[in-house]
Amino acid sequence: MSEKNLPPSRFLFCIIMISMFILILSSVFLLGFTNSSLIPKSVFKLILLNNSSVCLNREQIRLPLFSSDISLANAKAPLISGGLNCGNSCSAKYMPSTGQNMNNAYAPLKVFMYDLPPDFHFGLLGWKGKPNQTWPNVNNPDDIPPYPGGLNLQHSMEYWLTMDLLASNISTARPCSIIRVKNSSQANVVFVPFFSSVSYNRHSKLHRDQNISLDSYLQNKLVEFLMSQDEWKRLGGKDHLIVAHHPNSMLQARKKLGSAMFVLADFGRYPTEIANLQKDIIAPYKHIVKTISAGQSAPFHKRPILAYFQGAIYRKDGGIIRQELYYLLKDEKDVHFAFGTVQGKGVSQASRGMGSAKFCLHIAGDTPSSNRLFDAIVSHCVPVIISDDIELPFEDVLDYSEFCIFIRASDAVKNGYILNLLRGISKGQWDQDVEKIDGSFTTL
């Protein structure tokens, strides 16, 4: 049988497909056998609430920031600690002792922090230092203004990160895993100390004599300042870290500063070209309710409430599901599903309620996340997450499925689905979930 010649068009198509296959295959091998990725990774892979110390391999965070995924030793170690004492940080475990070569792995992360005027940070809390004084004296607790209470606390990440950097150079018995450097050329990351959440919460509304809110004014001045700095121009801002934990903070500036790394609560109100997991960090909320210690936590049989939710019920966007679940669950005798605020005794009521419940519902609201998850954790109330688009802090090292229950919104609204699922969980299973909460977190 004689062999037929391929038509020219089909022959050309085959050549193109073979060439594309070879190109893709070679790219895969190239990326697989190199220590670098084409996408810059965040250097703050672990931020400890109330203690921002980070354990990273220095060789993997050297500028420019084109490092591969960072492998973390002892990934199950507690992620959240309290206080500003560097001795409580991960550095005590991973840092070399005095006299050893500081070029070893787990050398301190070097952070350069801009000396922005107080108007951008502690001045927003009412602090007034001496003439030409930029920062409060962290050696004197009386000189440090407290962060506003109530719901403001949930977005206080900016405050704690700044405080830790200010305290990082204070002499201590054990070394910090982060240090503040005065020369930006020595830094691994550049920190922008703008209290954007306080600025939004307290200064985003226009007063009668204003054409622009103070919050908008500060954002504009911040953009103007950063764009003029050599540090920003060096890498186009890719090594800068900006905290915008409140979902509505940095509304005017976020697009212009989108090349920087953001510390966020979630991605609910950000387009993917501005914020994404390739460069940004999802950080935990600061809990609002009182922490219950393991010894004081009520056991399974002394928690009469099966499922607990208290908060705003009528929400927009993905939060419409709250209204649906309210009408589905509100009349169940062992379910507490009610409207609530932080006003009056709202926080103390929520503390008692969560401490008396076996399961606490974390339902999507205006945004996918809220501090309610962390309120549940400190109450030893097993979280039930009903939020399809949620991104959780430190998911690369912390398996939330070990102590949380995830329910798809489409399943949650089915009559009887949530109740049948929760009532089917035994005391033994519940005890294991609570133990895993204690194993993953210390005090929030």
Contact 84, 164 (CB under 8 A): yes
DSSP secondary structure of 409-420 = HHHHTSTTHHHH
* 336 assigned to some structural domain: yes
Kindly state whether residues 251 and 314 are assigned to the same domain: no
| Statement to judge: residues 237 and 305 lie in one domain | no
- Whether 402 and 313 map to the same domain: the answer is yes
Residue after which a domain boundary falls, among 234, 251, 282: 282
Assess whether the previous peptide bond of 78 is cis (omega < 30° from 0).
no
Q: Answer yes or no: is 335 within a domain.
A: yes
Q: How confident is the model at residue 177 (pLDDT cuts 50, 70, 90)?
A: confident
Q: What is the pLDDT of residue 207?
A: 83
Asked, for residue 40, whether it belongs to a domain, the answer is no
- Stretch 167-192: mean pLDDT: 83
pLDDT band at 317 (very low <50, low <70, confident <90, very high): low
Which tokens hold the place of 438? 């204690």
Query: What does the alpha-carbon distance between residue 247 and residue 228 come to, in Å, rounded to a whole number?
Result: 27
Q: Using pLDDT thresholds of 50, 70 and 90, give the confidence band for residue 10.
A: low
Q: Would the pLDDT of 186 be above 50?
A: yes
Are both 191 and 235 inside the same structural domain?
A: yes
Same domain (yes/no): 276, 156 = yes
* The total number of structural domains that make up the chain: 2
> Is the domain of 125 the same as that of 204?
yes
**Same domain, residue pair 244 and 321:** no
Domain membership flag for residue 19: no
Q: Other CB atoms closer than 10 Å to residue 142's CB: what's the count?
A: 7
Bridge partners of 262, per DSSP, are 242
Same domain, 320 and 418: yes
Please tell me whether residue 404 adopts helix, strand or coil conformation.
coil
Same structural domain for residues 229 and 114? yes
Please tell me the distance from the alpha carbon of residue 116 to that of residue 1, in angstroms, as a whole number: 83
Q: Which DSSP string do the residues of 260-327 spell out, in sequence order?
A: SEEEES-STTS-TTTS-TTT-EE-PPPP-SPPPPTTT---GGG--EEEEEEE----SGGGHHHHHHHH
Measured distance CA(165)–CA(179) in Å, rounded: 7
What percent of the chain lies above the pLDDT cut of 70?
72
Which of 248, 282, 316 terminates a domain? The answer is 282
Does the pLDDT of residue 319 top 90, yes or no? no
Give the best-scoring range by mean pLDDT among 179-183, 305-309, 349-353. Answer: 305-309
**How many H-runs (helices) and E-runs (strands) does the chain carry?**
12, 11
pLDDT at 158 over 60: yes
Q: What is the pLDDT of residues 116-145, one digit of tens each?
A: 999 999 999 999 999 999 999 998 888 999
Q: Final residue of a domain: which of 235, 254, 282?
A: 282
| Residues 437 and 377 sit within 8 Å (Cβ to Cβ) | yes
- Domain containing residue 261: 58-282
254 pLDDT more than 50: yes
pLDDT band at 302 (very low <50, low <70, confident <90, very high): very high
pLDDT above 90 for 16: no
pLDDT given for residue 40 in this prediction: 29
pLDDT confidence of residue 406: 98
So what's the pLDDT on residue 11? 52
Higher pLDDT, 299 or 13: 299
183 and 325 inside one domain: no
Question: Among 49, 46, 45, which residue's Cα sits nearest to residue 377?
Answer: 49
Strand order in the sheet with 357-363: 335-339, 305-311, 357-363, 382-386, 405-406
DSSP 368: S
The reply to whether 293 falls in a domain is no
* Identity at 399, one-letter amino acid code: D
* Same domain flag for 167 and 275: yes
Residue 50 lies in a domain: no
Residues 250 and 372 in one domain: no
CB 398 within 8 A of CB 349: no
Instruction: Give pLDDT, residue 103.
Output: 43
**Which residue from 222, 191, 224, 217 is spatially nearest to 203, judged by alpha carbons?**
217
| Structural tokens at position 180 | 């503040």
- Mean pLDDT of all residues in 168-184: 77
pLDDT band at 107 (very low <50, low <70, confident <90, very high): low
Confidence (pLDDT) at 224:
98
Residue-level pLDDT at 394: 87
d(C-alpha 403, C-alpha 426), whole Å: 14
Q: What percent of the chain has pLDDT over 90?
A: 59
Q: Is 67 left (phi over 0), alpha (psi -120 to 50) or beta?
A: beta
| CATH code for position 338 | 3.40.50.2000
Domain presence at residue 3: no
